Structure 1
């Protein structure tokens, strides 16, 4: 895709409020790091109180995935998780508006040699990310450490779309961006030996996936990881970014390639992906995005897990 370009149409009065909000976001991002973390925690407490539907989803997910925890322990985890979601909003501002020099002082990295080895061999890499709350700032850290092409979904608001692309692409001058539906472009990039960012841990329905266990629950899991690795002749190399709040920085960890993928069996590969994702979720549950309906799609005949879906299905029956 072409680099984002400013257009006079973005100055239309209907977008003035959006520009003002971005201006505020920019100013907040210039505050000292500790202040931003405190503001993020406060935002998280507000979300916990007022974003009832998201709280219900997160509570349900935690109950499904951690039944061994007491109700009090899960409530404590829920509160820490919403604080983490609030901090993520501040981190997005850091990623989009702070200098690369400032950001570089904020993280350490481990395992970069796995990417460099693949790059030396001219082999493509499916850079497997996961939806932790550090996703946005983690992508910036990753782009500053190694050229990684990204996936992109246009935003309905053209000003937000412009600012989002500018913010995400400014740290990786050698990186390319592909629309989420541009599968051919991603495969060509992998075949040329490039690293392409991909996150397989959301529910996109069963049309493009299979049911594979996650926390013992049959979970709709996309088979894209397996397909990209097979057709793109690429390695699947995961990475995580952990927020170390008390120390004031982050740790980016690149893992060794999951050598068993592609195995030739998409279900087997999906199981391997979910096993890896679940292990990381268990290691750092407070920083995972539990507010998403990860178990939205259910096998035929099974009841939905989330309240909203029950209401929608009842309306359809009427």
Structure 2
């Protein structure tokens, strides 16, 4: 049996994290972005695990690039990750401020047409750009239903839910009951959003190629699309230079995601994720251990 977490220690961690987030949230957006860029640039020069993992992932996914290009892109990604952390801290406390930073929407017309058709719509948003701003905009414009996985720190979870539910989105726990509730909402025409590039638990995924590498991929999104007939769209919030704000981008996903053959569906899902990442690879979370659950007989590259 694993060791139980000390409740007092968990409370201390939660309160400390919330305090740190609150302090960051006190900074005006311009100062927030400047400080995040400065700290990110410093961290990107250090021999951290995040930098190492990023370079490993980039070497696997972009073998055509040189080692020097991998290093530069990995450092850019780390800077963007720090920017994302700082702006999320601000926007969880001030959701309206985050929504106001959306200055352009690319691909909104096909999305609106799909919603108007009366069919459910699924937004597939990988760890690219600022996904919290995307969540705010979708919840403000549509009837958004999403799943929520607790972090284990109740104080932090309360802050996250407060920010995400500010515009009226409905949250579901990552349980069988939560999935059932989400399916009921989708069958009534609701929109849902899922992070499709997370490594699932051992009962909830299959291996499928991701940039040509076997990646353990969650099956939930594909199964929900097959069950409900939802129209899938890829989406991300591109971080614009300086303090210009964000551009939301929506792209119809590969139709093969709805294929009844699950393996075919997963291949199409990962190909759609790849196409979206290629629009702005420097803003992808390359430090995430996407290949940490390799097929039997293979070793994880980390």
Name the CA shift for 1:14/1:188 in 2 (closer, same or farther; >3 Å). Answer: closer
The aligned counterpart of 1:137 is 133
CA distance in structure 1 between the aligned counterparts of 2:201 and 2:11, rounded to whole angstroms? 34
Name the CA shift for 1:14/1:192 in 2 (closer, same or farther; >3 Å). Answer: closer
Unaligned runs of 5+ in 1: 1-11, 307-318
* Cα deviation 1:125-162 (Å, max 9, x = unaligned): 12111111412233223323333212101122221121
The aligned counterpart of 2:170 is 176
Equivalent position SS for 1:261: helix
Pick one of 126, 145, 151 that aligns with 1:155: 151
Q: How far off its partner does 1:49 sit?
A: 5.3
Which stretch has the larger CA shift, 136-145 or 99-108?
99-108
Equivalent position SS for 1:241: strand
Name the CA shift for 1:29/1:213 in 2 (closer, same or farther; >3 Å). Answer: same
Unaligned runs of 5+ in 2: 1-7
Pick one of 191, 212, 217 that aligns with 1:216: 212
Contact 1:128/1:200 (<8 A) preserved: yes
* Cα deviation 1:87-121 (Å, max 9, x = unaligned): 01111123212252663244321233333333333
The aligned counterpart of 2:30 is 34
The aligned counterpart of 1:115 is 111
CA distance in structure 1 between the aligned counterparts of 2:240 and 2:208, rounded to whole angstroms? 31
TM-score under structure 1 length normalisation: 0.83
The aligned counterpart of 1:271 is 267
Indicate yes or no: 2:181 matched with 1:185.
yes
Q: How far off its partner does 1:65 sit?
A: 1.1
CA distance in structure 1 between the aligned counterparts of 2:263 and 2:238, rounded to whole angstroms? 29
The aligned counterpart of 2:74 is 78
Contact 2:91/2:98 (<8 A) preserved: no
The aligned counterpart of 1:7 is none
CA distance in structure 1 between the aligned counterparts of 2:120 and 2:298, rounded to whole angstroms? 39
Contact 1:211/1:218 (<8 A) preserved: yes
* Cα deviation 1:43-87 (Å, max 9, x = unaligned): 323543567222221121011112221121111111111100110
Contact 1:214/1:274 (<8 A) preserved: yes
The size of the alignment, in residue pairs, is 294
Name the CA shift for 1:146/1:207 in 2 (closer, same or farther; >3 Å). Answer: same
Contact 1:110/1:253 (<8 A) preserved: yes
Q: How far off its partner does 1:274 sit?
A: 0.9
TM-score under structure 2 length normalisation: 0.87
* Cα deviation 1:158-187 (Å, max 9, x = unaligned): 2112111111111x22x2111122211111
Between Structure 1 and Structure 2, whose CA radius of gyration is higher? 1
1:38-77, aligned counterparts within 5 Å? 38-48=34-44, 52-77=48-73
